[in-house]
Structure 1
Amino acid sequence: MGQPSFVSRKQAFLEKYFSGESIDYRQIISLFTPILIDQAFLVGLSLVNTAMISSSGVEAVSAVNMVDSINMFLISTFIAVATGGTVVVAQYKGSGNEPMVSKATASTVSAVFLFALCISALVGVFHMPLLNVLFGNASPDVLGNAQIYLVGSSISYVGIAVQEAVCGALRGIGKTRASLILSLIMNLSYVILNIILINGLHMGVLGMAISVNISRYLAAVCSLFFLAKIVTNTNSYFRLRELVKVEVTMLKRILFIGIPFAAEQMFFNGGKILTQIFVVSLGTYALATNAICSSIAVVLQIPSSALSLTAITVVGQCMGRRNIADARKLTKSFLWLSSLSFFLMAMLILPMFQPLVGLFHPPADIVDDIFIIMVINAVAQVLLWPISFLLPSALRAAGDSKFTSITSMLSMWLFRVVLGYILGIVFHFGIIGVWIAMNCEWGVRSLVFLWRFRGEQWYKHRLIEPASAD
């Protein structure tokens, strides 16, 4: 007999590591590919936007970076609630209970909408005290730009909330292609508007604020259209009128996952904001270095971020069938694949450092610091990021939300924030010390999550009832 062909060996490999009784590798690839494209567009467009606003000066870049840390803190809370909806939808989909998939979808959209509306109102009223408390040491020019961008961002929260809730539900039932289309609508329109308003009309931060509102509300309208027209043609039986019905039992299931995750995101991103305050005290150049390094670091995360989102759907559907073996096996495969993707991305990006960093027009004084941070972070991402972030996504999809959230909150505040202050401020390592502290915190998270995954408690949660019970 001859040697097996490359195609047959590849298929055997995929069958062994990425297929199970609950789902096979073809389904996983069909889930993963649109999410990967979505993540690539998100990061690529974010780089383009940062590069565009860089043309308005270091003050504009610093202001946008400061406000985006607040935006991330706030938006992540209702995205966390949407993730709770993704898990519940995925588990109902895995259990075969299609009518409950529709109810879970409607409850997700309603809950996230109300959550975002409250946050938007609070930020709109208290935007200036918020900026003064967090970034009062920034220069007047930076604060002025930050005020414009924060008010504009707060108005857009409801739009992105609806879009994220719908996309989360679509990912839960495996419709990642529809989720991709909605994301592209929002982000491509955002970039086009930024080109017109920032580069064309030279409106600076105000132009970016206008762009973000138009693009997010356009995406929200399109999201509701997708639910009404596309999901209706499947077995999910969704109707828009279900959005006005409050299913208390369903809401409790969504919030069982969503509230701990939202609390985690608040504490986690709150720690990031506190770290940002350290960075503000280091000066405008440190702020610009942090902004540029953050933008480049996210590029390396593109495949792994897509795997992390895919894992929620895959593990959620496995747990809906109560197939623990599949959930454990596929999580392990995703972790190895994520580390490999980080290595490949680093090998691709690091040789392109000069042209890539040139997009941001950095002062020559900070280029060396940017390169040092990039190298340190690239190594840490290969070894630690998948276990620190992808693994808790899988645990959360199994219903283990409280443990993952508490671990993330404690590691953030006990290690990243405290160690960041000690290294960056006390020992005068500056922005490099802040980034080293972040990578050390990943190591702590990794040890705890690996210990949890090796045990049995993470899969003993019963998030949904069997189909017959509903």
Structure 2
Amino acid sequence: MEQTSLQSKKLFTNKNLFKLFLPLIIEQFLEYLVGLADSIMVAHVGEAAVSGVSLVDFVMALLISLFAALATGGAVIAGQYMGKKQMKESREAVDQMVWFVGIFSIIIMVIIYLMKPLILNGLFGQITDEVRGDANTYLMITAISIPFLALYNVGAAIFRTMGNSKLPMKVMLAMNIVHAIGNAILIYGFNFGTAGVAIPTLITRIAAAIIIITLALNKRNAIYIKKSLKHKFNWPMIKKILSIGVPFGVENGLFYLGRIIVLSLVATFGTAAIAANAVSGTIVMFQVLPGMAIGLGLTVVISRCVGAGDYEQAKYYNKKIMRVVYASHVVSCVLVLALLPFIMNVYGLSEAATTLATQNIWWHAGFMVVIWPLAYTLPVTFRASGDAKFPMMVAILSMFFCRIALAYLLSIYFNMGMFGTWVAMFIDWIVKAIIYVCRYMSGKWTTFHAI
């Protein structure tokens, strides 16, 4: 009877979930497909170019994660207001989010340019002059796109909050087609080298941001951005957004900072290790892609449930969506491993780099299908309910004591080389999974409120 009651008043039908999650998976697939295409095309230039681009991409990924976190903060607040049927407050939340993230991203862009020597010479550790030169070219061009990356993330979050994940998918599809064509023309046609990857990246990020923000200004949307260049910051509302966005941003930021620190360790093992780490890092994203995409939709679902004050539905959808994540990961891993020989052949890396990359990808698949959803999908539910500080603290401690400390211990003192840094990552997943399962079972996450 209880199950029947829950089914009759569900906030999301299976059709609703399908329409939310499928475009998100396609969008994420297209995004990572461009990353794969970039790395394959730049491999045509040489392993130094692959290494240089991958090093900068780690920094850009760090920034993207910060903007995505702030956008998530706005999406959670707007979603909870929608769950309460308070549409005016929901619109105010997204308006404040756009202005705050836009200004913040411009400041970040300026800082990146000012800190360029430190990034290239200090953060990346011991790299060859050739790799440094390629990294410098790529960074100088793509750093201009930072504010546009931020605005696209915010715009996409606005439409996802409304349950319209199809529109961001269409924008991403169009931009990725342009991106791929631009890469092919500049790299193969004009021999632009690393710049041939950077220029299309910049152009498409600018275009994507302009398109999605323009569409978000439409007053026909349930929530929209105000058409005005005059803005007054609503600090109480911004504080609510930051209560979710900042802990998640710190968590994401330290995650990528930890990866960059580990990357400087990987760099000491030579160009083959850097290239293998970069290539395997790109390929395994296709394994984890469904979980990451569904996590974006889970934020929408849980925030609506919590806004409506219905934690039973929040638990119901968490379990339901976790099962979907597990099933989709099995499919994605099987597909990636089946195509792996072909993909590695396309890269054309050295035999040493190919062997290392293949090893990483197989082990990643094994651990991911069992552990990853518990370590990364569960905390999405916590954040969407307002419990953002707990996963932040767990992620910080686990990052330093597992991913970083163990990476140095295993790779250097146990002579595991670059693969030791991947083993440390798997241990990090296991530790977080155990802690998050205990948190979820305790029910403490249901006592938090973001609005």
Q: TM class, shorter-chain normalised?
A: over 0.9
CA distance in 1, matches of 2:272, 2:4: 50
Q: Tell me how far apart the structure 1 counterparts of residues 229 and 90 of structure 2 sit (CA, whole Å).
A: 12
Residue of structure 1 equivalent to 2:67: 78
Name 1:305's counterpart in structure 2.
292
**Counterpart in the other structure of 2:112:** 123
The offset of 1:242, in angstroms, is 7.8
Q: Secondary structure at the match of 1:204?
A: coil
Structure 1 equivalent of residue 376 of structure 2: 389
1:42 aligns with 2:31: yes
Q: Distance between the aligned counterparts of 1:235 and 1:79, measured in 2? A: 21
Give secondary structure in 2 for the equivalent of 1:301: helix
Are 1:113 and 2:111 counterparts?
Answer: no
Preserved CA contact (<8 Å) 2:91 2:225: yes
Alignment of 1:192-271 (within 5 A): 192-229=181-218, 232-236=219-223, 238-241=225-228, 244-271=231-258
Does the CA-based 8 Å contact 2:105-2:146 persist in structure 1?
Answer: yes
TM-aligned CA distance change 1:55 to 1:449, over 3 Å = same
3-state SS in 1 of match to 2:49: helix
Q: 1:288 to 1:237 in 2, by over 3 A?
A: closer
Partners of 2:172 and 2:95 lie apart in 1 by 19
**Counterpart in 2 of 1:286?**
273
Residue identity matched to 2:211:
C
Quote the Cα distance in structure 2 between the aligned partners of 1:457 and 1:441.
23
Mapped partners of 1:98, 1:425: distance in 2: 55
CA distance in 2, matches of 1:239, 1:227: 9
Q: Secondary structure at the match of 2:422?
A: helix
In structure 2, the CA distance between the partners of 1:237 and 1:162, relative to structure 1 (3 Å rule), is closer
Give the alignment of 1:21-420 within 5 angstroms.
21-229=10-218, 232-236=219-223, 238-241=225-228, 244-420=231-407
What is the match of residue 435 of structure 1?
Answer: 422
Query: In structure 1, the residue corresponding to 2:191 is in which secondary structure?
Result: coil
Letter in 2 for 1:456: G
Residue 238 of structure 1: how far off its partner (Å): 4.2
Counterpart contact for 1:17–1:333, Cα < 8 Å: no
TM-score by length of 1: 0.92
SS at match of 2:217: helix
Unaligned runs of 5+ in 2: none
Q: Following TM superposition, by how much is the alpha carbon of 1:191 offset from its aligned partner in structure 2, in angstroms?
A: 2.0
Q: Once the two structures are superposed, what CA deviation does each residue of 1:149-185 show, in whole Å capped at 9, x if it has no partner? A: 1122221100111111111121112111122123234
Q: CA deviation at 1:186?
A: 3.3
Count of residue pairs the alignment pairs up: 449
Query: Partner letter of residue 54 of structure 2?
Result: N
Name the CA distance, whole Å, in 2 between partners of 1:215 and 1:209.
10
- Counterpart residue type for residue 49 of structure 2: A
- CA distance in 2: counterparts of 1:219 and 1:330, whole angstroms: 31
Q: Distance in 2 between matches of 1:353 and 1:401?
A: 37
- 8 Å contact 2:406–2:424 — kept in the other structure? yes
Identity of aligned residues (%): 29
Q: Give the gaps of 5 or more residues in structure 1.
A: 1-13, 465-470
Task: Measure the CA separation in 1 of the matches of 2:300 and 2:263.
Answer: 33
Equivalent-residue separation in structure 2 for 1:417 and 1:140 (angstroms): 26
Change beyond 3 A, Cα 1:36–1:16: farther
Q: Go from structure 1 to structure 2 and tell me whether the alpha carbon gap of 1:48 and 1:234 turns closer, same or farther (over 3 Å shift).
A: same
- Separation (CA, whole Å) in 1 of partners of 2:161 and 2:435: 27
Aligned counterparts of 2:126 and 2:250: Cα–Cα separation in 1: 28
For 1:412 and 1:143, the matched residues in 2 are separated by 27
Cα distance in 1, alignment partners of residues 295 and 359 from structure 2: 27
CA displacement 1:269-315 (0-9 Å, x = unmatched): 11101100110001100001101111110111122122111111111
**Alpha-carbon distance between aligned partners in 2 of 1:285 and 1:117, rounded to the nearest angstrom:** 35
Report Cα offsets for 1:304-331 as digits up to 9, x if no partner.
1221111111111111101101111111
- The verdict on how the C-alpha distance between 1:243 and 1:358 changes in structure 2, with shifts beyond 3 A counting, is farther
AA aligned to 1:107 is Q
TM-score computed with the length of structure 2 as normaliser? 0.95
Do the aligned residues in 2 keep the contact of 1:388 with 1:445 (CA within 8 Å)? yes
| CA distance, structure 2, for counterparts of residue 364 and residue 18 of structure 1 | 55
SS at the partner of 2:347? Answer: coil
| Shift in Å, 1:107 | 1.0
d(CA) in 2 for partners of 1:375 and 1:269?
Answer: 22
Relative distance call for 1:20 and 1:190 in structure 2 (3 A) is: farther
Partner SS state of residue 351, structure 1: helix
Contact 1:373–1:432 (Cα < 8 Å) also in 2: yes
When residues 175 and 140 of structure 1 are mapped into structure 2, their CA distance, relative to the original with a 3 A threshold, is same
User: For residue 117 of structure 2, what is the amino acid of its counterpart?
Assistant: M
8 Å Cα contact 1:38/1:183 also seen in 2: yes
| DSSP-derived class of the 1:235 partner | coil
Counterpart CA distance in 2 for 1:413 and 1:19 is 46
**Partner SS for 1:234:** coil
- Measure, in 2, the Cα distance between the counterparts of 1:125 and 1:357: 37
1:423–1:434: 8 Å Cα contact kept in structure 2?
Answer: yes
Q: Aligned partners of 1:242, 1:170: CA distance in 2, in Å?
A: 21
Q: CA deviation at 1:261?
A: 1.1
Shift of 1:367: 2.3
What does the per-residue CA deviation read over 1:168-226, in whole Å, with 9 as the maximum and x for residues that have no partner?
12111211112212323433322222122122211111122222221111111112210
Question: Deviation of residue 18 (structure 1)?
Answer: 8.9
